[in-house]
Structure 1
Amino acid sequence: MSIGNSPEDDRPSIGRVLQQARIAAGLTVEEVSSSTRVRIPIVHAIEEDDFSRCGGDVYARGHIRTLARAVSIDPEPLVSQYDAEHGGRPAPTPAAPMFEAERIRSDPRRPNWTAAMVAAIVAVVGFVGFTFFKGGDGGGGTSTQVAEGSTPNTTSPKPKPTKTTDPKPVPSDSAIAAAPRDKVTVKLSASQGKSWISAKDHNGRQLFDGLLLQGQSKTFQDKERIDLVLGDAGSIELFVNGKKVEDKFQPGQVERLSYTKGDPEVG
């Protein structure tokens, strides 16, 4: 759903305000997405006043606040403008029915403590009598048999654990091990934490744009060049053309990198 200026209101739209503030702050959409964890398509949609991709009014308000703080403007006027253009916030649930329900639940009669005490005394007397009867019946032989009978249950052989085998290497690992000389091969592994990454080929075609979770890996190939943007370069291990790149990136550091055929070479 697209939001524009109404005839009664000459204020700029929410998306226009966020876009101008981002440009004034010297930030790209990719950088805003990396710092806020709001996906790039959603950032583009909001700047075009399309909130249909947010997943509802609650998420739309949250994204507006997040993006506004990222570009250093006050989010509250924008949220108020969104509420005015979308029918306002939903009315809070009245508290009276809740208190009424609590009052109704407290009305039942008090429990009959006398009957409960009598039942407890009967149970104790029955237990003492049963214990006395069992202790005097046949000496200690019966108790010995019970103990021996329960032994197989407690000492029965446990099932042997299934032997786990090492997972087979995924195709991306094989691609790194035998990187072709006529192509550039880049592998990214999120070994230290999660990171947003973007990868494009030499024609600018998007190969991947999203979040790489800790423990996950991605491999990309192109005949000439791979361009990367790493939202948190300190969390990523790089392998280029079968060789690990030893650059020490800092946690939270945004890096723009390019790699070509042959030895790893940062563009």
Structure 2
Amino acid sequence: MRKKTIGEVLRLARISQGLSLEELQRKTDIQLDLLEALETDNFDKLPNLFYTRSFLRKYAWAVELDENIILDAYDSGSMITYEEVDVDEIELSGRRRSNRKKQSFLPLFYFLLFSLSIIAFVSYYVWNYIQTQPINTSEASYSVVTTTTSDSTTEVTSNNQSTTETSVAETSAVTISGEGDTISVVYKTSKETAELQLSVKDTQSWVSVSDTDLAGGVTLAPGNQTATTTISKKTPVTITLGVVKGVKIKIDNQEIDTSKLTGQTGWISLTISPN
């Protein structure tokens, strides 16, 4: 047993999990070159102190390490006593790969199950609402017929405008659940794709959107206030916010309420479902 640097501990923990750097990148949404910088203790390559601590926390979580030990070592500039130092890395990787991978799929399974439950609930609500529409339309028509000719024309126009406004309002909707560091958002729309916009005004935040051209992340600041990408119904995405406060998120010009994200850093699971 001897002391190791933070990067050495992270690398051995990743190998013990049977993860490649590419697999870890997909799991954490951290760029590949930044993961390599963490494993080589090249912390100067990261944007700043906040992002370094955030990435160390996410890395530790992904490989089942105690994030407090990693962060304390980083803050104090000390090394870490690592108990598995005498275990051959190649042998360790081959021996534990199958067991660790079986466990690593559990969070994804629970997330998909939760997402499907939300989609089923929303679909049932929409279907039930549609079934009640003919009754409401019939009552509205009866009300118009019983009025005088001039009033009827006015009420028909008013009802048509009301129906149009209702149709527009029902075309799409945003449902938000959860609180704390992570929330889930379901966006109902009849379109196959949707435009996602992230913007800031007076703050600075690193953001990323998985499975899009923003998966590698981008820093929003007063000099670069907006980032836009397109998402589809086929793939749920995860939005990572380095700093939650001051970041506005819109999907097809509808603002997503992030007030339930109470942490300094936040994650949003976004799913598009049929309207």
- The two structures have a TM-score, normalised by structure 1, of 0.37
- Structure with more contact order per residue of length (Cα contacts < 8 Å, sep ≥ 6): 2
Which structure: larger Rg? 1
Bigger proportion of residues as helix: 2
